[in-house]
Amino acid sequence: MFTGIVTDIGKVLELEKRGDLRARIGTGYDVGGIDIGASIACDGVCLTVVALGTAPQNWFDVEISAESVGLTNIGDWQVGSRINLERALKVGDELGGHIVSGHVDGVAEVIAMKDEGDSTRVSFRAPDALAKFIAPKGSVALNGTSLTVNEVDGATFGINFIPHTKVATTWGDVAVGDRINLEIDTMARYVARLRDYG
């Protein structure tokens, strides 16, 4: 489990297609404190660490199944891509965002951006099947970042990014047309299930 509070911006150092896709991610994390088999959310996708190293910088490797590549924006990664990272939640950690599983539900698209003071309002189009789970003032995880929804209109929804978020995550790099990993709020999923089968 994760909180959607990004704690590092990683960089894709290598991509290798084997049976699955293997990615090497450069990180500011102390890799001496990461175990093989640990889960790290990479742009919101829960991935398992399979190797670690420190040269030429700290890095960890993950193996990514074809299904994960097909259901997320990982297929867009290139060597040099910057990605949001979060270590798994430990018992007793502060829950600063919301409960995030790292199981991406689909890919949203950035359809508009507008500066509002120092903040940036970004509009997204969600897949139709997921739109019903997104509500004003509700939570979503986008590329692994816990965010509050400002407004919703059908499958379109808006998020306001404050300057801190744009610096502490990769949201300062976003552009219209980008494909974004979307994880809907777990509570919204259960409410919909209860409504349909209650």
Q: What is the pLDDT of residue 188?
A: 79
Query: In this model, does residue 189 exceed pLDDT 90?
Result: no
In this prediction, residue 190 has a pLDDT band, given cuts at 50, 70 and 90, of confident
Q: Bigger pLDDT: 31 or 19?
A: 31
Checking if the pLDDT of 130 tops 80, the result is yes
pTM, two decimals, is 0.94
Give the pLDDT score at 97. Answer: 77
Torsion of CA 129, 132, 138, 140, to 10 degrees: 0
Cis preceding linkage at 136, omega within 30: no
The whole-chain average pLDDT of the chain stands at 94
Segment 135-176, tens digit of pLDDT: 999 999 999 999 999 999 999 999 999 999 999 999 999 999
Whole-angstrom Cα distance, residue 173 to residue 167?
9
Quote the percentage of the chain above a pLDDT of 70: 99
The alpha carbon of 117 is separated from its chain's Cα centroid by a whole number of angstroms, namely: 25
Q: What is the structure's pLDDT at 67?
A: 93
The Cα-based distances of 106 to 56, 111, 190 in angstroms read 34, 16, 17
Give me the percent of the chain exceeding a pLDDT of 90: 84
167 burial type by CB count under 10 A (0-12 exposed, 13-18 middle, 19+ buried): exposed
| pLDDT reported for residue 18 | 81
pLDDT at 198 over 70: no
Predicted confidence (pLDDT) per residue in 92-125, tens digit: 777 777 888 899 999 999 999 999 999 999 999 9
Average pLDDT over residues 37-65: 97
AA identity, residue 111: I
